[in-house]
Chain A
Amino acid sequence: MLDQAARDPVPEHPGGQALELAVPPHDHEVPTWDEFSSGWQLGIYQDPVLCGILAGAILGLLGVFVVLRRAVFVTAAISQSAGLGVVLAFALQIHGNLAVPPVLGALVLALLATSLLALRAERTFFARERVVGFCYIAASAAAVLVGDRIAQEAHDVAAILFGAAVLVRPEDLLLVGSVALGSAALVAVSYRGLVFAGFDPEGARVHGLPVGLIELGLWLLVAITVSVTTRAIGALPVFAFAVLPALGALALVRRLGHALIAAAALGAISGGAGYVLAFFLQFPVGAAQAALAVAIFVAAVAGARLLRRG
């Protein structure tokens, strides 16, 4: 990958992000540690690895609350909607000559999906699980269809949906870092409220806690984080990081506070090490990150069972 990146710099598309599969040509010899180390020193891999770590950590942390609210597929629907938002932004740039930043497209669609999902079931014709299914399928299909009309960006569309960001733009890294820090700070500040509202929402309401605002705030944080990270690393790893590290952490530890730390750590490992794994095994980055998250989840569940037996 280093040779490819160094010799054949990846062209930037109108959105400005350089994207390419992290797979050196198959006739390429197996990448070496020296190659990775050289690339690291040149600064080629630092940003995407750091971006993977930050995205994995914050999605892992928020994922604990998502998993505990039994809403894992809400994240899938939001990330697919964010992916559609990015694709629509490309389409508007190419066909409409409108300079819509892809991350803004991701944010708008993610918030739209979130508000649709936040509607209370009794006020809508559909229950939430059906809305989740609708959003996921509609966003996925629309992203592919719109992507088909912007053929020159086809591989970028695939990268956004499945995650294959070899290079991450500095502004995307900055945005992911800012959102990660901001989200972590907000979770820390409102931690007790999030816990009470999740454990016993009616009891919390009777105690005067603003349960509706707490839930709205949580899902807004999820929507913003998902839209920004989807733009940077793709929808598949985003969904994986929002679910699997949390599930693994909840299997491993007994306290919610510890689960948040463990999930952030597992997510960060999946994001960072997944990129390195993709480099050495010549896999697409997003799929490698998601696969590593799966492996870590399986190891965490197995480890938890062993610990309980011991």
Chain B
Amino acid sequence: MTGQATAGAELLTCRALVVGHAGAALLPPIDAQLRAGEFWAVIGRNGSGKTSWLRTMLGLLPPVSGRVQTPNGGIRLSYLPQKSAFDEHYPVLVRDVVSMGTERGWSFLGRGRRERALEVEQALSEMGVISLADRPFRQLSEGQKQRVLLARVAASRADLAILDEPTSAMDAVAEREAFTLLDGLRKRRGMAVVVVSHYLGLVQKFADRALLLDRDTPAIVTGTIDEVFGHDSFRERYGDDACALHP
């Protein structure tokens, strides 16, 4: 696929996928089907296996058992790891960071500078950070950095963007803005989005599907937001007034 998947098309399917480390399962098997244009939220306590699931779907971590399937020809993926995975002191400009989104495979050996520059400008404009294009990335505020990284996702023209706590360093206003920008990307480009977040109010407002990982019970709950938020496992963990308490 080339970043323009038909709305509703199957992108990635987890079949009895067991995630874990060194052969030891963290969670029960996960079954989930991600389709083009969907907005998924991944919720659960710290250490519940959210990042492990994302990394297994992305092929960064081998599954303990089960499978991750994509359509023939594969899909275009984009990944925003947790903040700690970046080298934030790297001496790159904002446009260099966004330009990374346009790279695929061995493309870094080629030229195509003009096409990439256009993609980068467009993505920066879309995320409202065009004025930061020539600023050093390391000198930005946390909120600005996250917007730039979202611009990298936009420049990637991905079918499926996976973001691991992209708003963890943001205040409530910046977080809402980030969710709005992601939702815009999804709607304009038909990109499927998977976001790990602890902010249940925003999850309820923007996501249409959710995956709850509960390592203590242990339990896996997938479904629409209403289905997951109405599930006993969710209520046990978060209470009935979760969204009011975690806006």
A203 pairs with B100, CB closer than 8 A? yes
Which chain B residues border A206 with CB–CB below 8 Å?
58-60, 77-79, 162
B93 pairs with A254, CB closer than 8 A? yes
Q: Which residue of B lies closest to A194 (CB)?
A: B108
B80 pairs with A203, CB closer than 8 A? yes
What's the Cα separation between A49 and B106 when bound, in Å?
38
A203 pairs with B92, CB closer than 8 A? no
What's the Cα separation between A204 and B90 when bound, in Å?
15
- List which B16-66 residues lie within 8 A (CB) of chain A: 55, 58-60
Q: How many whole Å from A66's CB to the nearest CB in chain B?
A: 14
- List which B52-110 residues lie within 8 A (CB) of chain A: 55, 58-60, 77-81, 85-87, 90-93, 96-97, 99-101, 103-106, 108-109
Which chain B residues border A193 with CB–CB below 8 Å?
103, 106, 108-109
What's the Cα separation between A99 and B111 when bound, in Å?
46
Q: Is the C-beta of B136 less than 8 angstroms from some C-beta in chain A?
A: yes
- List which A181-231 residues lie within 8 A (CB) of chain B: 189-193, 195-196, 198-210
What's the Cα separation between A152 and B246 when bound, in Å?
77
Q: Is the C-beta of B156 less than 8 angstroms from some C-beta in chain A?
A: yes
A202 pairs with B93, CB closer than 8 A? no
What's the Cα separation between A202 and B55 when bound, in Å?
9
What's the Cα separation between A202 and B78 when bound, in Å?
10
B60 pairs with A205, CB closer than 8 A? yes
What's the Cα separation between A120 and B103 when bound, in Å?
26
- Taking each of A190, A200, A207, A210, which has the highest tally of chain B beta carbons within 10 Å of its own beta carbon? A207
Contact for B87 among A200, A250, A253, CB less than 8 A: A200
Given contacts A192-B108, A208-B105, contact A199 B79 (CB under 8 A): no
Which chain B residues border A190 with CB–CB below 8 Å?
108-109
Q: Which residue of A lies closest to B153 (CB)?
A: A203
Report, as a range, how many residues of chain B touch the other chain. 20 to 34
A255 pairs with B93, CB closer than 8 A? yes
What's the Cα separation between A210 and B106 when bound, in Å?
7
A195 pairs with B92, CB closer than 8 A? yes
Contact for B91 among A191, A202, A259, CB less than 8 A: A259
Q: How many whole Å from B38's CB to the nearest CB in chain A?
A: 19
Contact for A196 among B55, B80, B103, CB less than 8 A: B103
Bitwise interface map of A from 103 to 115 toward B, beta carbon under 8 Å scored 1, else 0 = 0000000000000
What's the Cα separation between A26 and B85 when bound, in Å?
56
Contact for A250 among B77, B80, B91, CB less than 8 A: B91
A207 pairs with B81, CB closer than 8 A? no
Which chain A residues border B105 with CB–CB below 8 Å?
207-210
Q: Is the C-beta of A256 less than 8 angstroms from some C-beta in chain B?
A: yes
A207 pairs with B90, CB closer than 8 A? no
Which chain A residues border B162 with CB–CB below 8 Å?
206
**A binding-site residues for B, Cβ under 8 Å:** 68, 189-193, 195-196, 198-210, 250, 253-256, 259
Some 24 contacts from A to B, beta carbons below 8 A apart, are: A68-B90, A190-B108, A190-B109, A193-B106, A193-B109, A195-B92, A195-B96, A196-B108, A198-B90, A199-B90, A199-B92, A199-B100, A202-B81, A203-B78, A203-B79, A206-B79, A207-B79, A207-B103, A208-B104, A250-B91, A254-B91, A254-B136, A255-B136, A259-B91
